[in-house]
Structure 1
Amino acid sequence: MKSKLIAIALFVAAAFTAQAQDETSTTAVKPTAGNITTEVLFNDFGDISLNNGLLRARYFASNDIAYRLSLGLNYDYDKISEEAHTRVFGLTLAPGIEKHFAGTNRLSPYIGAELPISMQSAKYEDDDNTIEGATSIGGGNRSFFSVGLNAVAGVDFYFAKNFYVGVELGTGLAYTKDADIKVEGNFSNETKGYHNVRFGQFVNGGIRVGYVF
């Protein structure tokens, strides 16, 4: 978290310094209606990744309204031995909307909301036993369904035409329902899933670097 806050502070300082040097410019570098953006994330001054494992794109329906969609998929098949294997599949969708404000020639502050929906299925199989809902009796990689609502705020800095860097933070509420774990075979058992509700703040990684189509 400390490195993320330092990265955000450096971004803000660089953005305002560059903006001060470019106040007289009238070159249009910010996206307008019909543009699409996509981005990657720079974490801890070097690591490059998707946004928390999600591929994100935005469509600008107008100069100040953008629809966003984050998508994540994961599949893991692990062959533990000749007789045993685990299988995990996960899907995340997070549609949302952003309202952008005038800002300056290069800075585009915005607020928005998103609806993250996630689900995961997990299974373990060997010659004698099958576990549905997790990859172990203890609940490893448990199947679940989650839905939430996030309020976000951020700023994008367009350092060149079609290229930008940005930061984003937010707060959100999430409901999660863990699946039942059913064991069939030599040792049959069933563990009921439980519900969880969380509310908290978050920072979306480090520095977002994006491109405008």
Structure 2
Amino acid sequence: MKKILFAAAAAALVLTSVQAQEKFKPDAMTVSTELSYSPGGATDGGFSLPEYGAKVRLHLNEKMAVRLKLGLNTSSSKTTDFTPNGTNDDTETYHRSTQTKFSIMPGFEYHFTKYERISPYVGGEIGLLTSMTKDTDSSSGSDIKTVTKRPGVGFGINAFTGVDVYLCKGLYLGFELGLGYESMNSKRTLTTHTTGDGTTEDKGNQATLQTDFGFHATPSLRVGWCF
């Protein structure tokens, strides 16, 4: 009985020692990928769809990493107007509006290695932003349609801080916030009119430049893994 207890104690000691020496953070020249999800919310009486993103990092060593972050956000709305036309069926007129934004942001991170499972970091990124706004007007029982498109292109600069919490070796959750600047140049619109006689195109006579600066802290779930 004593031999069995001694063997069990020795096994537990070895297992505890191995777990204590296990390294949770990525090794040098390790690649990690992650996905992020930010729930949508009410904005000005409307509703925004969730924002999705992905990030790839190359950990140069325990303290430094280079990263490439991709972002995608899409919102859509549709309005239907019912107009009496003297029959039992109303004439339905549709207006659909969609907006899609895409970003690609390379950056750099500096990690603090004081903690074993937690990796706080600071860094910066700069990258390209694109957007596309599309408005479509049509009606039931008619081949007349009007589509207006407005492309946009810009750039963004962010300084950020965040933290990775390693659940086990190679798997972590995280959160990030920062201070950012964005500039978006929306080009002239292009309107396409389609009727039974054919299609015509008209260009708008106005372009806009919008800039935003401030702190950003989007509640999001970041799940990543190393390989």
Question: If the TM-score is normalised by the length of the shorter chain, which range does it land in?
Answer: 0.5 to 0.7
Match of 2:174 among 160, 166, 179: 166
Residue 29 (str. 1) matches residue 24 (str. 2): yes
Residue 190 (str. 1) matches residue 190 (str. 2): no
Residues 111 and 74 (structure 1), Cα distance of their counterparts in 2 relative to 1, 3 Å cut = closer
Compute the displacement of 1:90 (Å): 5.3
- Residue aligning to 1:68: 67
Contact 1:52-1:205 within 8 A present in 2 as well: no
- Structural RMSD (CA): 3.7
Match of 2:149 among 121, 127, 133: 133
Equivalent residue letter for 2:219? G
Residues 160 and 75 (structure 1), Cα distance of their counterparts in 2 relative to 1, 3 Å cut = closer
Equivalent residue letter for 2:121? Y
Compute the displacement of 1:204 (Å): 3.7
Distance 2:116 2:202 in 1: 65
Residues 182 and 32 (structure 1), Cα distance of their counterparts in 2 relative to 1, 3 Å cut = same
Residues 71 and 159 (structure 1), Cα distance of their counterparts in 2 relative to 1, 3 Å cut = same
TM-score (norm 2): 0.62
Answer 1 or 2: which has greater strand percent: 2
- Structure 1 gaps of 5+ residues are 1-23, 45-50, 77-84, 135-142
Structure 2 residue matching 1:115: 3-state secondary structure: strand
Report the count of equivalent residues: 175
Residue 181 (str. 1) matches residue 189 (str. 2): yes
Alignment deviations for residues 136-158 of structure 1 (CA, whole Å, 9 cap, x no partner): xxxxxxx2112110001011111
**Greater Cα offset, 183-192 or 165-174:** 183-192
Distance 1:130 1:160 in 2: 54
Compute the displacement of 1:54 (Å): 1.7
- Residue aligning to 1:9: none
Contact 2:125-2:157 within 8 A present in 1 as well: yes
Compute the displacement of 1:74 (Å): 7.8
Matches within 5 A, 1:75-94: 91-94=102-105
- Structure 2 gaps of 5+ residues are 1-18, 40-49, 76-95, 194-199
Residue 96 (str. 1) matches residue 112 (str. 2): no
- Residue aligning to 1:157: 165
Compute the displacement of 1:89 (Å): 6.8
TM-score (norm 1): 0.66
Distance 1:199 1:155 in 2: 23
Equivalent residue letter for 1:194? T
- Residue aligning to 2:216: 202
Compute the displacement of 1:72 (Å): 4.1
Distance 2:59 2:158 in 1: 20
Equivalent residue letter for 2:103? T
Matches within 5 A, 1:103-122: 103-121=114-132
Residues 202 and 28 (structure 1), Cα distance of their counterparts in 2 relative to 1, 3 Å cut = same
Compute the displacement of 1:62 (Å): 1.9
Alignment deviations for residues 57-109 of structure 1 (CA, whole Å, 9 cap, x no partner): 11112221111111246899xxxxxxxx9997754211111011112111111
Residues 124 and 61 (structure 1), Cα distance of their counterparts in 2 relative to 1, 3 Å cut = same
Distance 2:101 2:225 in 1: 27
Contact 2:28-2:59 within 8 A present in 1 as well: yes
Distance 2:55 2:20 in 1: 30
**Greater Cα offset, 196-205 or 176-185:** 176-185
Distance 1:29 1:170 in 2: 26
Structure 2 residue matching 1:53: 3-state secondary structure: strand
**Greater Cα offset, 153-162 or 90-99:** 90-99
